Every structure is written in structure tokens, then in C-alpha cells.
Amino acid sequence: MIAPQPPATPAPSRTVRKAVVPAAGLGTRFLPATKATPKEMLPVVDKPAIQYVVEEAAAAGLDDVLMVTGRHKRAIEDHFDHAFELEQALAAKGDTARLDAVRDPARLADIHHVRQGDPLGLGHAVLCARNHVGNQPFAVLLGDDLIDPRETLLSRMLEVRDRHAGSVVALMEVDPAQSHLYGCAAVEATGEDDVVRVTGLVEKPAPGTAPSRYAVIGRYVLEPAVFDVLERTPPGRGGEIQLTDALQRLAAGGTVHGVVFSGLRYDTGDKADYLRTVVRLACARPDLGPGFTHWLREFVAGLPAATAGPEDHHRAA
């Protein structure tokens, strides 16, 4: 009699279908607005910021999205669920446009939620996704870091990942004076203009010590091997488990590539850039843009001359 064999560990899939959206931060830069409202739910024109992120994942073919949330983030779960009473009221009025807008968030993808019990950093938030992701590659999209809907950064990262073993991070060239705000990468050229091999990473380097002008922005495509590395990664800068530190270990093995992005990206976790984001995306809307742009020109023309402030470190629309 042949003894039964233990079930084999499933082979890792090469197709990326899952996305993880860390959204557990306290949003202290937006207090008091975020005292009772998650920062990811602040409206950008007429949609919360996090909906743009989920739409980006869905547009790239990722149909399984895990939200890593925290306490007082129930509004995020509710937004991506059905609102039966509201839907019934709109249907009774025959208001199909608003009905579709209300239903769309729940139809974008198969959306799940898990809570990050302790605020131990981005690396820990990603580690909270391990049971859901399993032995599969996955994308990570930060909940307050928006890529303009007209861009195709995530799709390009998935293409690069299909052709190279390992993980892929999004990189953007920044002013050296801003390098201390980001994780920064040491890189080597490849045969493609927008693809580099990442040889090292430093989380928020001290001024003047960044290994390059390339900063890591909030898009990653990761191999499941990152979970084992994160479990062994001690707290780093700020006493938190940093995803950058785990990627540094993977990069030392030559398994991390970067896609250099030069398009439109918005940091809605920053007050000034949040305001710029609302203006830019409103101007791009066919239903709002013409009238709003006309008003904006008149408003700006009527402002008194002012001394120029610090240069915007994000690419302008």
C-alpha cells in the first residue's frame, strides 16, 4: 500500500492578479479634517483619493484588491460596498448617472480588507497581506499616491516584471534637495531607456548622501519572497519596519529592477499637492474643465503679484 503523500506546495504563479493597498495611516498632516475621516477618503473632485488608486489597479488587469486598513477606517470599507438604500432611491428617481457612480466602486474588483493592528510601518503593512497573497507575485499601490489616470505606469511595470525575474519598483527623478523625503535608489543602466537595475536602496537619506536622483514612489510589483525578508527585517528609520530595507536586501541579490517614470504623479498626503491635484484633475474633466479653466484664468489674473515660492517638486500637468 502506498502511503499518502502530503499536499505539494503550489508553484508560484507568474501572472500578477492581486494588488495590496496600504491605507492604515493616521493622516496627521490633514488634521482636523482626518480626525473622523480617513485621509484616503478625502475627495479629489468628486471621488475619494483611494478610488483613483483602485481604478488604476483594475485598469492594469488586477482584479483582486486587498486594503490594509486600521482603526477608524470603516468608511473605506463602506465606500467599496453596495449602499442598497441609496441605490434604491436613485433607481426610483431614474437617476442612472449617479446610480452608476455609486455602484462603480464595488464593481471595480474583488475587494478585501484586513487591519494592521499596530502602526509598525509600510513593511509591516505589506506583511499583513501575506495570508491573502500567498505564493503569488503582487502589486503594492500606496493609498495617497496617485498616478494620473492618463498614465500607464503600472502596466509598464507589469510588462517589465514579465521579462525580468524578481521585483519592480517605480522610480522618479527628484530634485536632490527633496531626496530626504523618499527612499532613494542606486541604479545601473540596462538596454532600455526607462528600465534600470536597482543595486541598492536607502530610506530617506540625509541631505547630500542620496545614491542618485532616483526616488522610489508608491508603486511596486513584488515577488512573494519579500515576505520572508520582511519577517527578518528589524525596525529601521522611525522605529518602523521599512519596505525599502527589505527591498535593499533583495536588490543585493540582483533581483530588483526599476521603471523610471516621468509622467504625472500626485501626492495627496501633502496639503499643497492635494490642492494642485484637485485643480489639475478638474481641468482635465470634459464636464468641468472648460468652465473651471475659464474661471481659474480670471481668478489667477486678478491675484496680486507675489514672490515665487519653492519650486514644485512634482511634475506639472
CA-to-CA separations, 178 to 111, 139, 218, in angstroms, rounded: 35, 26, 16
The secondary element (H helix, E strand) that includes residue 207 is: none
Domain residue ranges of the chain, discontinuous segments joined by +: 18-299
> Residue range 152-165: average pLDDT?
92
pLDDT tens-digit map of 241-283 = 889 889 988 988 878 999 999 999 998 888 999 999 999 999 9
The total of other beta-carbon atoms located within 10 Å of residue 79's CB is: 20
Q: Indicate whether 153 pLDDT > 80.
A: yes
> Residue range 161-170: average pLDDT?
91
In the structure grid, which three cell numbers stand for residue 292, read together?
Answer: 473651471
pLDDT tens-digit map of 19-59 = 999 998 888 899 999 998 999 999 999 999 999 999 999 99
CA atoms of 77 and 310, how far apart (whole Å): 37
CA atoms of 248 and 256, how far apart (whole Å): 9
Give me the pLDDT at residue 317, please. Answer: 41
Buried b (16+ CB within 10 A) or exposed e, 136-152: bbbbbbbbbbbbbeebe
Give me the pLDDT at residue 307, please. Answer: 52
> Residue range 188-198: average pLDDT?
91
Amino acid symbol at 36 = A
Q: Is 257 helix (H, G, I), strand (E, B) or coil?
A: strand
Using an 8 Å Cβ cutoff, are 149 and 53 in contact? Answer: no
Give me the pLDDT at residue 158, please. Answer: 96
pLDDT tens-digit map of 273-307 = 999 999 999 999 999 999 999 999 999 999 887 65
Q: Is 296 helix (H, G, I), strand (E, B) or coil?
A: helix
Q: Is 309 helix (H, G, I), strand (E, B) or coil?
A: coil
Confidence of residue 14 (pLDDT cuts 50, 70, 90): low
pLDDT tens-digit map of 91-144 = 999 999 999 999 999 999 999 999 998 878 899 999 999 999 999 999 999 988
Q: What is the pTM of this model?
A: 0.88
Give me the pLDDT at residue 211, please. Answer: 87
Cα-based angle 296, 297, 303 (whole degrees, multiple of 5): 90
Q: Indicate whether 233 pLDDT > 70.
A: yes
Class of domain 18-299: alpha beta
The secondary element (H helix, E strand) that includes residue 102 is: helix 96-107
